[in-house]
A = this chain, B = another copy of it.
Amino acid sequence: MSVYLDYQAAKPVDERVLKAMLPYFNEIYANPESLHHEGDLATEALEKAREKVASFINAPDPESIIFTSGATESNNLALIGSALRNKKKGNHVIISEIEHISILNIAKYLERQGFKISRIPVDQYGIIKLEKLERLITDETILISIAGASNEVGSLQPVKEISEIAKEKGVLFHSDVVALESSIPIDVQEIPYDFLSLSSNDIYGPRGMGALYLKKGQRVNPIIIGGGQERGIRSGSHDMAGVVGFGTASVIMKREIHEEAHRLKGYRDELIKGVLESIPKSYLNGHPVKRLPHNAHFRFDYIEGESLLLGLKDKKIAVATGSACSSKTLEPSHTLIAMGLLHEEAHGSLVITLGRFTKKSDIDKLLHELPEVVKRLRILSPLTPPELLEYYKVVNK
């Protein structure tokens, strides 16, 4: 039996979600724009799904949910759409050094369009320095975009404080909350986000589906133009099965998030304790407490994350190294470098993300196999110091 511990990269669709989606492939399949009875049924399903997603983040107005093809598109719409819309007010956008690659690349795009981008540094735990944020804001600042949690090291950002600073300074605040959707409740009435990027798959809904939350009164320029669906903000015929699945996933996640997060936190802590105790020269990256309940991010001296990943692949355990979205590049993680790690340290990292279908036995299997894989790689590594090799010899007996 294989063990999947890469929930941050992709999640299975919950059976209950899939069941709710099925009629929308070939029973209720009309275009909600159509005026006939079948179109009415589609419109009804679309608006019910919108209410469910709105309720998931406690948004009072379902209209604040704009369906998109996923969080990457939502990030584009939030950053490019609001920067272009507000360019007369200013040309300065603030992000952090450890944003998801989609935000980093959008920021580079905006720079080429003449916007000025500031990147807030983070501390050793990957948490942004709030006092730097305050100092970076100028009269030209129109937008702050900081993810609620690092999708890599799992550190939680002080979004409440960021939102207060943004509000006080009259700057818009966007947050990509994809990494925390499945384990930390989101409440737009408690934290006054202007824009949120949401992903359906990250709450066990279908892929190719996401949303942008737009606070009432906020607008963005569209980036996909056409028939004027989604209040003209996102054109294109609706993926009915997709929106229905996203809606259903929202209801389930909202109901189960506390219990699920609690369970995963237990597994995570067991995993962290087990790894740090059983493997010498192993370290936890990111904050020990202010971190996602489902994320454990380790670093091991003298070996490479890629080799570790392949070693675990042989044992039928799926994990990640570096950022989930760019694991095919061999660049060290920009997040770990921003946290002050050396290149060689960043290269020796392993990201383990748990999810709804993670079992205690998955953690046990990883704790059983990982020390052996690390040991084998270290014995082969020219970097391993003699005393550690000696240690392994002794322990082996």
Interface string of A25-51 (1 = CB under 8 A from B): 111011101111111001000000000
8 Å CB contact of A242 from B29, B106, B208, B310: B208
Bound complex: CA A248 to CA B72 (Å)? 26
Interface string of A49-78 (1 = CB under 8 A from B): 000000000000000000001111101100
Bound complex: CA A309 to CA B36 (Å)? 7
Bound complex: CA A238 to CA B72 (Å)? 11
Most B Cβ at <10 Å: residue of A12, A34, A241: A34
Neighbouring B residues of A102 by C-beta, 8 Å: 225-227, 235-236
Bound complex: CA A314 to CA B320 (Å)? 56
Bound complex: CA A310 to CA B306 (Å)? 62
Copies per assembly: 2
Determine whether A130 belongs to the interface, using a CB cutoff of 8 Å to chain B: no
Size of the A side of the interface (Cβ < 8 Å), in residues, is 75
Nearest B residue (CB) for A323: B227
Determine whether A13 belongs to the interface, using a CB cutoff of 8 Å to chain B: yes
Beta-carbon contact of A69 and B72 below 8 Å: no
Determine whether A15 belongs to the interface, using a CB cutoff of 8 Å to chain B: yes
Nearest B residue (CB) for A68: B69
Chain A stretch 178-225: residues in CB contact (< 8 A) with chain B:
201, 206-209, 223-225
Determine whether A18 belongs to the interface, using a CB cutoff of 8 Å to chain B: yes
**Chain B proximity of A9: nearest CB distance (Å):** 4
Beta-carbon contact of B226 and A106 below 8 Å: yes
Neighbouring B residues of A18 by C-beta, 8 Å: 22, 25-26
8 Å CB contact of A226 from B25, B75, B206, B235: B75
> Interface of A with B (CB < 8 Å)?
2, 4, 6, 9-15, 18, 22, 25-27, 29-31, 33-39, 42, 69-73, 75-76, 80, 100-102, 105-106, 109, 201, 206-209, 223-228, 235-242, 306, 309-310, 312-313, 316-321, 324-328
A to B CB contacts below 8 Å, 16 in the list: A4-B30, A6-B36, A6-B38, A9-B34, A10-B30, A11-B29, A13-B26, A34-B320, A69-B236, A73-B224, A76-B224, A102-B225, A106-B225, A208-B208, A223-B224, A228-B326
